[in-house]
Each structure stands twice: as structure tokens, then as C-alpha cells.
Chains A and B, each alone.
Chain A
Amino acid sequence: DAKTTQPTSMDCAEGRAANLPCNHSTISGNEYVYWYRQIHSQGPQYIIHGLKNNETNEMASLIITEDRKSSTLILPHATLRDTAVYYCIVRVRGGAQKLVFGQGTRLTINP
């Protein structure tokens, strides 16, 4: 699975959009971009995933650049409960459970 690069930490004001970048310049054509988050001391939680089109669900939006070398996770109206470590992961669709976690981005939502 391709390696990803994320900023170590970010801050965002409550109610504003949180935009979390991820670089995955070595991504292969059959690899998806997945986002998980880990709220303190809990198990990682799935957020969203995509291949090449932008995706949106009830939690977030995922914007993938046309060359697929980077992506941005958008939390449209961040709340204090969104404070967590966010992991960007690339993996082959249908592959075995070989998620490769980096250190992620520690997002702090400030009141």
C-alpha cells in the first residue's frame, strides 16, 4: 500500500469547516483513499473513502485531485466532538485487512 503524508497537527474553530490534507503521490491506479479517525482512547472509526471522484456522506466530504496524488477531507461544520486524530490511508480495494496507519493529523476543534 502507498505511503501517505499528513500534517502532524491542525486547529480549527468550532462551526467552521476543517480541511485536512493528505499527500499520496505514489498511489496506484487500483488503490483507494480511506479516512479513519480515532477519538481519544477509542478504536478507529471509518469516515469515508474514494477512488477518483469526490465523495460525500453524512460525516464528511472527500476531494481527490485529478492526478490522485493528494486529497482533502472536509468536515463542513466542525464540532468539539470532531477533535481526534485523523488517518489518511491508501489501500487496494477488496484487499485483506492490511491498513497501514501513519501518525495521522491531530485535529483540535477550539470553542
Chain B
Amino acid sequence: NAGVTQTPKFQVLKTGQSMTLQCAQDMNHEYMSWYRQDPGMGLRLIHYSVGAGITDQGEVPNGYNVSRSTTEDFPLRLLSAAPSQTSVYFCASSYSGALNTIYFGEGSWLTVV
């Protein structure tokens, strides 16, 4: 049981490049989500999914796309990277329903130059 796994852990992109941050969980969780954390700030929700085939926007969705083709995977795509997207990205997952503790991955550090 690996929990929530994110790759890559570190990435440097040039402005305008696109890339995908991968997130996988092996706990059969229905809910998955992506947060970003800027220096000295709390986490902010980008996108989330309540199950395979269903996604929705969070607080800061612009510049990001997601899809949920399987229960296990929830990739985050940066369409055209901008310096403002330099941040640490965290993927999270949980069961649906009551008492749903949310488990976080270890983070992906992204720098856009």
C-alpha cells in the first residue's frame, strides 16, 4: 500500500511549455484532488474529482486541466506554463461519505522560468 504517489518530485519548465503531473493512489478512494501551495501560504484547491469520469473546479483552476479515466489516477496538466504557476503541488485522496480523512502525497516542486 503505497498511499498517494506523485511524480515527478521536481521539475523545471520554460514559460509556454506544457507538462503533466501524475498522481496515483492504491487505496480505492473515490475522491481525488489537486492543491497548490505558494511560499508561506496554505494550500489552495485547483481541481477535484468525486469519482471516475467526474471532475470539477476548485478555487484556482485557471491554467490547469484534469481528467479521471480510472479510480487510481488523477493527472494534472499545465497547458502553457507561466511563472505564476511556480509552486508546490499536492495531490490528495479520500473515501467518500462520512469521516473521510484526506491523505496527501509528498508534493511536486515545479519551477517555471
Kindly count the residue-residue contacts between A and B in the assembled complex, taking CB atoms under 8 Å apart.
Answer: 57
The interface centre, meaning the residue of B42, B45, B59, B107 with most chain A CB atoms within 10 A of its CB, is: B42
Residue numbers in A under 8 Å from B32 (CB-CB): 97
Query: Separation in Å of the B28 CB from the closest CB of chain A?
Result: 16
Would you call B98 and A93 a contact (CB within 8 A)?
Answer: yes
B53 at the interface (CB under 8 A from A): no
B92 at the interface (CB under 8 A from A): yes
Q: Which of A45, A98, A100, A102 contacts B48 (CB 8 A)?
A: A98
Q: What per-residue 1/0 map shows which CB atoms of A84-108 lie under 8 Å from chain B?
A: 0001000001101111111110000
Query: Separation in Å of the B61 CB from the closest CB of chain A?
Result: 13
Q: Which of B4, B56, B104 contacts A96 (CB 8 A)?
A: B56
CA distance A44 to B28 in the complex (A): 20
Residue numbers in A under 8 Å from B105 (CB-CB): 43
What residues of chain A have their CB less than 8 Å away from a CB belonging to chain B?
41-46, 49, 87, 93-94, 96-104
